Chains A and B, each alone.
Chain A
Amino acid sequence: MGRQWGPAMRAAEQAGCVVSASRAGQPEAGSWSCSGVILNRRPGLVLCHGGIFTPFLRAGSGALTAASASFLPGDSCGDDLRLHVQWGPTAASPAGRAERGRPGLCTPQC
């Protein structure tokens, strides 16, 4: 990608993450997941798509069609909702640095 994209790519990869939602005690019942954007790392504030919460809405997806509603409080979803956020190495995070610090790693052809 052209030089112009450097800053945008860094911003995108720094902010990118994946969010998964599952039911407490029933992780095997499958989980719903989507992508997200890390708005702030401390505290970790993340914006993601709301579609993965539909199965957990106490009032069902009908709650999303209330014409004037622009937001629903977090407790609109049942207490069995479990959320996890995962992101890649960041320039700042120690894990990323440790990886970067190990010279000589290579993938020899067999």
Chain B
Amino acid sequence: AGLEPGPPARPHGRPLQPPRPAELLLLLSCPAFRGHFSYLFGGEEAEQWRFANATPDDEVSEEEEEDQLRALGWFALLRVRPEPKEVEERGPVLAVAPLGDVPKGAPLLACGSPFGAFCPDIFLNTLSRGVLSNSAGPLLLTDARCLPGTEGGGVFTSRPSAALVALVAAPLCWKAREWVGLTLLCAAAPLLSVARAALRGLHPDTAALATLLPPEMGAPWGLPLRYRDPGPPWVAAAVLVECGSVWGSGVVVAPGLVVTCRHVAPRETARVLVRSTTPKSAVIWGHVVFATQETSPYDIAVVSLEEDLDGVPIPVPAEHFHEGEAVSVVGFGVFGQACGPSVTSGILSAVVQVDDTPVMLQTTCAVHGGSSGGPLFSACSGDLLGIVASNTRDNNTGATYPHLNFSIPITVLQPALQQYSQTGDLGGFRQLDHASVPVRVVWRLQRPPAEALRSKL
């Protein structure tokens, strides 16, 4: 069938404005971003981290990688040359969120063009969604997945209204050769402050441009901290757990009780240090009152604190699980003690049942080493769904998949937690050491044994 006669076929994709010549006004960076970057990714950590656009195995010359690393926290202010007789509409004024106004866990929208100018007809302004995973001053992390070429792209929030929060600094992060699945951002507000100051100081004819840079949002953004969106309350229930040289995450399930993983706090009676970060930093000693046996498929340990953790909202344990629901993991993976817990978002991708009882939860959140023992929450209800136990590594290729991970349903633990809280009896926990064979098979990621073949004799 012939095509209807029509306008000359456009190159695929959306009609674009032709490329416009521009001039470089400034190169600019945020010294605080670079300071936090050095603290979090420098020093002895440096050799673990790669921000190259290529995978760790790709050949990127050392000099090229050095250049990329040096330029990682730098941005540029350009002026597009006006076209003669052009009547460019001013367009909507871009709003900019003040630094620190977007809480951890808040949803974010990234907009960049994968592979840059390689094929803008197809890739221009591609969207990606995630949450603010962590922040250290103007250095922000999101789990919105971005690709090479999106560096410099804008990252926006939708609450209380659309505003520019940050620009993409490094779309790909690798730690110890594992893809981390997080994107490094630099907050926009401090960058624009540097630009304003530089424009005013550089040249009389550029000083006027300083007034044309978008302003930071006033109220409600400018509300005092106590009125600003504090973000999801459940983030505060995640704690850092240190047992000797091993550290991991944990979740407060009662004012004096923390659940973590056995591989974080393996021995009963071992002394454990628990650090909470919100509403205020607190460091409390505790000891392991229960840890499952190595043979148990449930990788769980329970820590009793020497004093109660005040002000930490105790999460509500979920009673049901809904595959596909929006979930969040809160854990100290990636940065550990260097800054507070990270929040990553995804969906509940599978609920594995044995005899109609949920025994394993799988999610698409980005989970990294150090997040074990951390809480899995329903992003809708804020209920505690489970305890993160592991992510996935392909032993053949050595590749790790942070976005496929396994959690122990809280319904497996809740009866024992209730019994212990009421009577101090560990009997309920001891049951976890006697999980049935089908449950063991599930957690060994094996196929359940087919019905035992009967002899014909």
A residues in contact (CB < 8 Å) with B = 1, 4-5, 7-20, 31-55, 61-62, 64-65, 67-74, 76-77, 81-90, 92-93, 95-96, 99, 102, 105-106, 108-110
29 contacts between A and B (CB under 8 A): A1-B127, A13-B125, A14-B91, A14-B92, A16-B113, A17-B125, A18-B113, A19-B76, A35-B116, A37-B94, A37-B164, A39-B94, A40-B93, A44-B79, A44-B80, A47-B77, A47-B78, A49-B71, A49-B168, A53-B76, A74-B26, A84-B117, A86-B17, A86-B20, A86-B120, A88-B17, A89-B14, A96-B15, A99-B15
Q: Is the CB of A61 within 8 A of B1?
A: no
B424 interface hit (Cβ, 8 Å): no
Which residues of A lie under 8 Å from residue B107 when comparing CB positions? 4
* B contact patch SS: mixed
Q: Is the CB of A69 within 8 A of B90?
A: no
B84 interface hit (Cβ, 8 Å): no
Q: A-B pairs with CB below 8 Å: how many?
A: 300
Task: Using known A-B contacts A37-B154, A71-B27, A85-B20, determine if residue A9 contacts B109 with beta carbons closer than 8 Å.
Answer: yes
B residues in contact (CB < 8 Å) with A = 1, 3-4, 6-7, 14-31, 66-68, 70-72, 74-82, 88-95, 107, 109, 111-113, 116-118, 120, 124-125, 127, 129, 149-154, 156-159, 161-164, 167-169, 188, 191-192, 194-195, 197-198, 202, 209, 212-214
Q: Is the CB of B152 within 8 A of A48?
A: yes
Q: In chain A, what residue has the closest Cβ to B18? A: A86
Task: Give Cα distance in the complex from A84 to B167, angstroms.
Answer: 19
Task: Give Cα distance in the complex from A92 to B195, angstroms.
Answer: 27
Q: Is the CB of B88 within 8 A of A44?
A: yes
Q: In chain B, what residue has the closest Cβ to A62? A: B70
Task: Give Cα distance in the complex from A67 to B70, angstroms.
Answer: 11
Q: Is the CB of A85 within 8 A of B116?
A: no
Q: Is the CB of A34 within 8 A of B152?
A: yes
Q: Is the CB of B77 within 8 A of A45?
A: yes
* B182 smallest CB distance to A (angstroms): 17
Task: Give Cα distance in the complex from A94 to B25, angstroms.
Answer: 28
Q: Is the CB of B29 within 8 A of A69?
A: yes
Query: Which among B116, B162, B194 is the interface contact of A18 at CB below 8 angstroms?
Result: B116
Q: Is the CB of B78 within 8 A of A40?
A: no
Q: Is the CB of A11 within 8 A of B125?
A: no
Which residues of A lie under 8 Å from residue B125 when comparing CB positions? 12-13, 16-17, 87-88
Q: In chain A, what residue has the closest Cβ to B72? A: A51
Task: Give Cα distance in the complex from A11 to B109, angstroms.
Answer: 10
Q: In chain B, what residue has the closest Cβ to A72? A: B27
